[in-house]
């Protein structure tokens, strides 16, 4: 199985990549979106839809703001 990665968008420093896998005939076998951390490029999550990945980034940033405001 072959996989192809494509950067869809950068949101607030996070990168969202579309990952597609292909079967032996070259047809798309699966597709998902991954969120990568701004500095380390560590994988933070995988999502079925791009909108879910974008919501995850916004939720992470809002959580960080709340934590910093409470400190």
pLDDT at 71: 77
Q: How far apart are CA 38 and CA 67, in angstroms?
A: 19
- Comparing C-alpha atoms, which of 34, 27, 26, 28 is closest to residue 5? 34
pLDDT at residue 1, as a whole number: 72
CA atoms within 13 A on the CB side of 1: 10
Residue-range definition of the domain harbouring residue 30: 2-70
Q: What is the pLDDT of residue 18?
A: 98
Structurally, the chain folds into a number of domains equal to: 1
Instruction: Give the helix/strand (H/E) hosting 61.
Output: helix 50-70
Which stretches of the chain score pLDDT less than 70? none
Helices (H) and strands (E) in the chain, counts: 1, 4
């Amino acid at each position: 199985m072959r996989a192809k990665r494509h950067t869809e968008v950068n949101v607030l420093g996070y990168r969202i990549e579309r990952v597609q896998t292909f079967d032996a005939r070259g047809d798309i076998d699966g597709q998902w979106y991954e969120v990568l951390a701004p500095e380390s490029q560590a994988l933070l999550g995988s999502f079925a839809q791009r909108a879910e990945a974008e919501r995850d980034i916004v939720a992470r940033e809002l959580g960080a703001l709340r934590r910093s405001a409470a400190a």
